[in-house]
């Protein structure tokens, strides 16, 4: 069973899939768990916004689908505990020696077009490693870019064009989106995605495209017809509770031929 199975179960009823609703009690403040996302932000040559978000989305799901997160793996207990509750993520920025230091912590680093993000093994917020706790959350903003059309053959993550989010908030939301997609996919699709390094495309659509893919009142129909899911934010930071921050569409990947 995938470590993401509890996540699939919680969203199954909303998506119209056959599973029971899973209630998630709110944890006490000293029991909150989160996945740290560390964004590399050097003083010179800062990354572009879209590649940074794409790297964050890929890194977050890569930790969950890593063989070490599978049952019996050294990461399983931590990832399973986190996924069974609220899948909080906290984005922090690092450069220079601080960036090199977090490479020594358990996690996965993804690079996209020069942008780098390391998703770390989830832990209790109170137990954040010193190398992470000292990193700043604010100050990681980068200006919007113009990435052009999304490439075909990659999962597509669309940011809500009506909502303004910092790059850190956006990184957490696209990370939620890739995890949700992965939790609902079969073994063949997951293997194909792994073969492509869990890459995805992040874009901000126009209002017409957003309206087409937004699940609206019938998310089960949108999932069935378009393989689209939505991330609804809990409203702890930046946006109102219940805001749909990202819609994610699974698009079939070309199979990677074994060498």
| 254 domain-assigned | no
Distances (CA, A) of 175 to 50, 59, 167, 169, 200: 13, 8, 12, 10, 11
| 255 domain-assigned | no
Query: Which residue range(s) make up the domain with 192?
Result: 5-249
| 169 domain-assigned | yes
pLDDT tens-digit profile of 120-163?
A: 999 999 999 999 999 998 766 788 899 999 998 899 999 999 99
CATH number, domain of 164, equals: 3.40.1490.10
pLDDT, position 15: 60
Domain count, the chain: 1
| 259 domain-assigned | no
| 16 domain-assigned | yes
- Higher per-residue pLDDT: 199 or 212: 199
| 102 domain-assigned | yes
Say if pTM beats, i.e. exceeds, 0.85: yes
| 256 domain-assigned | no
Q: Are 216 and 222 in contact (CB under 8 A)?
A: yes
């Amino acid at each position: 069973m995938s470590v993401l199975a509890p996540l699939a179960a919680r969203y199954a009823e909303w998506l119209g899939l056959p599973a029971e609703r899973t209630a998630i009690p709110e944890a006490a403040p000293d029991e909150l768990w989160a996945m740290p996302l560390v964004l590399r932000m050097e003083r010179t040559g800062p990354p572009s916004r879209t590649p940074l978000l794409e790297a964050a989305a890929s890194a977050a799901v890569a930790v969950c689908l890593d063989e070490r997160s599978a049952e019996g793996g050294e990461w399983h207990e931590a990832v399973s505990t986190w996924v069974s509750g609220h899948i909080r993520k906290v984005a922090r920025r690092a450069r220079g020696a601080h960036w090199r230091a977090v490479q020594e912590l358990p996690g996965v680093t993804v690079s996209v077009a020069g942008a780098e993000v390391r998703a770390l093994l989830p832990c209790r917020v109170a137990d954040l490693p010193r190398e992470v706790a000292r990193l700043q959350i604010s100050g990681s903003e980068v200006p919007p870019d113009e990435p052009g059309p999304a490439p075909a053959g990659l999962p597509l993550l669309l940011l809500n064009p009506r909502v303004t989010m910092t790059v850190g908030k956006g990184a957490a939301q696209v990370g939620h989106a890739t995890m949700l997609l992965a939790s609902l996919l079969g073994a063949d699709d997951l293997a194909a995605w792994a073969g492509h390094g869990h890459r995805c495309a992040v874009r901000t659509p126009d209002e017409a495209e957003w309206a087409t893919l937004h699940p609206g009142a019938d998310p089960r129909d949108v999932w069935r017809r378009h393989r689209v899911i939505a991330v609804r934010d809990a409203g702890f930071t930046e946006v109102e509770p219940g805001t749909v921050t990202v819609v994610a569409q699974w698009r079939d990947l070309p199979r990677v031929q074994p060498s």
